[in-house]
A and B are shown apart, each in its own frame.
Chain A
Amino acid sequence: MRDYFDETAGHLATLLRGDEVFTCTLSAEESDFVRFNHSRVRQAGTVTQRWLSVDLIERRRHAGGGLALSGDRDDDRARLAHLVGQLREQREHLPEDPYLLYATEIRSSERAGESRLPEGGAALAEIHRAAEAHDLVGIWAAGAIHAGFANSLGQRNWYTSHSFNLDWSLYLAGDKAVKCGYAGFVWENAAFERRMADAVEQLAVLAQPPRTIEPGRYRVYLAPAALDELAGLLGWGGFGLRAHRTKTTPLLRMVEEGARLHPSVHVSENTADGVAPEFQEAGFLRPPHVPLIEAGSYRECLVSPRSAIEYGAATNGASAGESPLSIEIGAGTLPSDRVLRELGTGLLISNLHYLNFSDRAACRTTGMTRFATFWVERGVIQAPVNVMRFDETIYRLLGENLVGLTAEQEMILDPLTYGGRSTRSARVPGALVDDFTFTL
């Protein structure tokens, strides 16, 4: 795949005229997807896709395009020539782009892992065997993910990852279930079995009669997966320079009024420890770390090349969307094995669901509990809790009402597959929170 990308980029260079410059990116994967319901296979297949994006630039005028590469050299070259012709024609009708910025300093890189994935059938047989006695629903996604960048100045960046992501739930009945995930690069039966055993143990607790709580304020423990949902919501405009300068960031009060979160809250874009490519679509490399929030105060923004020019800042290699790809919320000091004792009486929330802003400017969020949520009394789990809606500002949740973050973090590899398999990841602790507001 890499050779083909290099060859295609080389051919693209031969299509240039005069002062033209190009940047291009490849996004490709060969993925097995096996979908399960009731521990049996609902849909199974393989998807092979290769997408090439091109920005054709002449001085400050440019137009962008993309096409699916068939892998047939002659066919792809013909379609690429057609696309370049189309972009060139479009460019003639365009004014100069005052915010155009692409990398001109050549910084090539390579991150290419070897596949250590099991043959498709092997892991499936193991999943089938372990799930036979249960109601398992979810998806197995595995295979190679490729990303590449090239420009006509000679920069080449390459990324290959061979990964798997088994994202599943074990259901007891109705909406009572335990959510699980096992993702990585080397499948280990023992690791999978441990996760299954933990889930089965939790199912036993879920079998107790559920409790319905009244709306009100409760002390809660948000497990890392639940906190990751909040981190994902904050990433929707929370940290991008464009959102800050257009006053649409949900963290507006931090920017405008100096509002602060709890001093123990540190948030960063931790590319160094993430699994996403370290380059972006204009050829800039991401620094290992970008501190976003430090000791509860807002620090830096994610800055795309376009925003860098528009707002007079330096880019830090953010993609156009300016959302974190490898977010980290720093660990706290609360040992995970003391969480129940410190929670005392309240709710243990394993997962949150369908978050959104109910007042964006105030960073007030709403969402649902989902999967394993338990009522805890004096540090002992009592019963599962029926789903509840919360409505709470981040300034209370991670500010005045934050009791503590766990000393241990979890690395969560994003299972989403919209368009292609995600390389987003999150490293987050759990959070103990007082007076968490449930409304429905």
Chain B
Amino acid sequence: MHESVEQRFRGVAPAVDFWSLRLVEERNEEIAVRRGVVLPPQTSLDAGVMVTVADRGGIGYAATCDLTAAGLRRAAEQAVEWAHRSAHQSLLDATQLGAPAPRGEFETPVRIAWDSLPLRAKIDLLRRQSERLKPDSRIVDWGASLWYTEVDTAFWSSAGGQVRQRFRTLVPGLSATANAGSETQTRTFGGDAYARQGGLEILDDTGFHDAAPRVAAEALELVAAPDCPEGCMDLLLAPDQMILQIHESIGHPLELDRILGDERNYAGTSFVTLDMFGSYRYGSELLDVTFDPSNPQQLASYAFDDDGEPARKQFLIRRGILERPLGGRTSQRRAGLDGVANARATSWNRPPIDRMANLNLEPGGSTLAEMIAAVERGVYMQTNCSWSIDDSRNKFQFGCEWGRRIENGRLAGVVKKPNYRGVSATFWRSLAMVGDRATFDVLGTPYCGKGEPNQVIRVGHASPACLFRDVEVFGGA
């Protein structure tokens, strides 16, 4: 499709200072078995373009799913109209958009193609997992699912830019809910965190095939478990909770458009200010955080962002000191700061804004056993299930599916409803030990919400297990 869209658009392209055209084609397939019943599979085929124009000092956009020559012409006219209409009220100098001319390609490496396994075989696979999620009658809801996505994007610009990128992602899911009277506990296969780029090999790589009995057993264990203890104690977080902690209290506050105020009406502002970059101590010396689009497995790896900026691995925080924000080309020019290639749009129908992509905490040198041994009294928590943080991304409270007490350097009993709260500006300074490669996991989430108009986007996070000292921990009501 992309060649014909390009040709059609070039035939109607406006005579303006700069234009870009971004085509997104997306195919989704969702297969699920719930309570042993195969749900009707869902297939979707989306396609549309975003036209961006800079002209006479203004910037405008128009997005449309009408890919005929008439539809593209109309979109181009609308974008020009918005550029002219907003020119005298624009926050940006149109030159801050730049005139990118990127050229290149990206394609997700796939070892086992999604289509190599027939639908019937995928359903059989999910049915087998579903059966293993229901070991007894206390399990009242259970399910297994696969969500596969193909996204093909193309970017052209009047400056000669031409980029094609092909992404393949898979999100496997397992869940078991156990009930006893007024208590219900749900355990999952990492929430949606095993979202990665690739094909069916992700199921092998993440242990999906063997996880169901453990998920069910832990749901049953939780429903009979005591509440998480309350008090100030040490906190050991598994990677599938670390990703939420990184996302909410490092990722969002470092988004440069938030710092510049764009998100103040919706997602919020940031406790981080422009003057902090280069000197602010964000965390302990053990804290190394990178923007890394280079790991092909990770959910948000790419070669170019949606403004056409080439992407590469860069440190945001090194040895605890804040180095650079999550800001794309436009935000960098507004702020006068270096950033990263993270201007991203959820699809063809939204303009790019500063987003997380792959935001990772680099592994350290401690084994899991060493971290447990270093705790006199604490809790080990896995898998996020509750998240809340203030609009400056400071005061947070997070909850996990599963917890286990640590006493005198040893793992003790399982506890339910483990929660903790803290303040971003001080929490990361209590980072006491960082797990080694053996504790490191490549994860992500398909659901990061932000922007006006709203956009939900896929982001990747990789992290080891980490130990924090003196955290306010608590349990249920």
Contacts of B182 in A (CB 8 A): 252-253, 256-257, 361
Contacts of A358 in B (CB 8 A): 386, 388, 397, 399, 417, 419
Contacting residues of chain A (342-356) with chain B, CB-CB under 8 angstroms:
353-356
Bitwise, B441-477 to A at CB < 8 A (1) or not (0) is: 0000000010011111000000000000000100111
| Any B CB within 8 A of the CB of A288 | no
**Min CB gap B191→A, angstroms:** 14
B453 near A417: Cβ-Cβ < 8 Å:
yes
| Any B CB within 8 A of the CB of A321 | no
| Any B CB within 8 A of the CB of A241 | no
- In the complex, the chain A residue whose C-beta lies closest to that of B183 is A361
| Any A CB within 8 A of the CB of B261 | yes
- In the complex, the chain B residue whose C-beta lies closest to that of A62 is B40
**Min CB gap B289→A, angstroms:** 22
A98 near B65: Cβ-Cβ < 8 Å:
no
Contacting residues of chain B (20-53) with chain A, CB-CB under 8 angstroms:
37-48
| Of the residues A41, A49, A393, contact of B48 by C-beta under 8 Å | A49
B177 near A359: Cβ-Cβ < 8 Å:
no
The answer to whether residues A70 and B388 also contact, given A45-B63, A55-B40 and a CB cut-off of 8 A, is no
| Any B CB within 8 A of the CB of A71 | yes
What is the predominant secondary structure among interface residues of chain A facing chain B?
Answer: strand
The answer to whether residues A121 and B45 also contact, given A38-B261, A366-B397 and a CB cut-off of 8 A, is no
B40 near A68: Cβ-Cβ < 8 Å:
no
| Any B CB within 8 A of the CB of A95 | yes
Contacts of B91 in A (CB 8 A): 36-38, 40-42
| Any B CB within 8 A of the CB of A208 | no
B262 near A50: Cβ-Cβ < 8 Å:
no
A44 near B261: Cβ-Cβ < 8 Å:
no
A90 near B260: Cβ-Cβ < 8 Å:
no
**Min CB gap A35→B, angstroms:** 5
**Min CB gap B330→A, angstroms:** 10
**Min CB gap A434→B, angstroms:** 18
**Min CB gap B34→A, angstroms:** 9
CA distance A207 to B423 in the complex (A): 25
| Any A CB within 8 A of the CB of B265 | yes
Contacts of A213 in B (CB 8 A): none
Contacts of A97 in B (CB 8 A): 37-40
| Of the residues B38, B65, B90, contact of A49 by C-beta under 8 Å | B65
A139 near B452: Cβ-Cβ < 8 Å:
yes
Contacts of B386 in A (CB 8 A): 356-358, 360, 366
A368 near B395: Cβ-Cβ < 8 Å:
yes
B63 near A47: Cβ-Cβ < 8 Å:
yes
**Min CB gap A61→B, angstroms:** 8
CA distance A87 to B43 in the complex (A): 8
B66 near A94: Cβ-Cβ < 8 Å:
no
Bitwise, A355-383 to B at CB < 8 A (1) or not (0) is: 11111111010111010000000000000
Bitwise, B367-388 to A at CB < 8 A (1) or not (0) is: 0000000000000000000111
**Min CB gap B395→A, angstroms:** 5
B82 near A368: Cβ-Cβ < 8 Å:
no
| Any A CB within 8 A of the CB of B119 | yes
| Of the residues A70, A93, A257, A387, contact of B65 by C-beta under 8 Å | A70
The answer to whether residues A171 and B264 also contact, given A128-B89, A370-B391, A440-B397 and a CB cut-off of 8 A, is yes
CA distance A182 to B456 in the complex (A): 24
CA distance A299 to B231 in the complex (A): 39
B60 near A44: Cβ-Cβ < 8 Å:
yes
**Min CB gap A36→B, angstroms:** 8
Give the contact stretch, choosing among B71-79, B99-107, B208-216, B308-316. Answer: B71-79
A137 near B40: Cβ-Cβ < 8 Å:
no
A42 near B262: Cβ-Cβ < 8 Å:
yes
- In the complex, the chain B residue whose C-beta lies closest to that of A249 is B184
* B118, B123, B395, B456 interface centre (most CB from chain A within 10 Å): B395
**Min CB gap B46→A, angstroms:** 5
CA distance A33 to B455 in the complex (A): 13
B62 near A46: Cβ-Cβ < 8 Å:
yes
A137 near B391: Cβ-Cβ < 8 Å:
no
CA distance A77 to B260 in the complex (A): 46
- In the complex, the chain B residue whose C-beta lies closest to that of A140 is B452
B265 near A167: Cβ-Cβ < 8 Å:
yes
| Any B CB within 8 A of the CB of A9 | no
| Any B CB within 8 A of the CB of A263 | no
Contacts of A36 in B (CB 8 A): 91
Contacts of B62 in A (CB 8 A): 45-48
| Any A CB within 8 A of the CB of B7 | no
| Of the residues B43, B260, B351, B388, contact of A43 by C-beta under 8 Å | B351
| Any A CB within 8 A of the CB of B141 | yes
Bitwise, A413-431 to B at CB < 8 A (1) or not (0) is: 0001111000000000000
The answer to whether residues A93 and B45 also contact, given A359-B417, A361-B184 and a CB cut-off of 8 A, is no
A45 near B452: Cβ-Cβ < 8 Å:
no
CA distance A167 to B391 in the complex (A): 17
Contacts of A389 in B (CB 8 A): 388, 390, 395, 397, 421
Contacts of B65 in A (CB 8 A): 48-50, 68-71
| Any A CB within 8 A of the CB of B151 | no
Contacts of B184 in A (CB 8 A): 247-248, 252, 360-361
**Min CB gap A151→B, angstroms:** 16
Contacts of A388 in B (CB 8 A): 395
Contacting residues of chain A (242-297) with chain B, CB-CB under 8 angstroms:
245-248, 252-253, 256-257
Known: A97-B39, A359-B477. 19 other contacts (CB 8 A): A33-B452, A44-B60, A45-B82, A47-B62, A48-B65, A49-B64, A55-B40, A66-B42, A66-B46, A67-B45, A68-B48, A70-B65, A70-B71, A83-B43, A97-B37, A169-B264, A361-B182, A364-B476, A440-B397
User: Can you name 8 A-B pairs with beta carbons within 8 Å?
Assistant: A49-B63, A93-B120, A97-B39, A128-B89, A356-B388, A357-B386, A367-B388, A389-B390
Which 4 A-B pairs have CB atoms at the shortest separation, nearest pair first? A45-B61, A362-B477, A246-B141, A417-B453
Mark A residues whose CB is within 8 Å of B.
31, 33-38, 40-51, 55, 62-72, 75, 79, 83, 86-87, 90, 93-95, 97-100, 120-121, 124, 128, 137-139, 141, 167-169, 171, 174-175, 177, 179, 245-248, 252-253, 256-257, 353-362, 364, 366-368, 370, 387-389, 391, 393, 416-419, 439-440
Mark B residues whose CB is within 8 Å of A.
37-48, 59-68, 71, 75, 78-79, 82, 85-86, 89-92, 118-120, 123, 140-141, 177, 179, 181-186, 260-262, 264-266, 268-269, 349-351, 386-392, 395, 397, 399, 417, 419, 421, 423, 449, 452-456, 472, 475-477
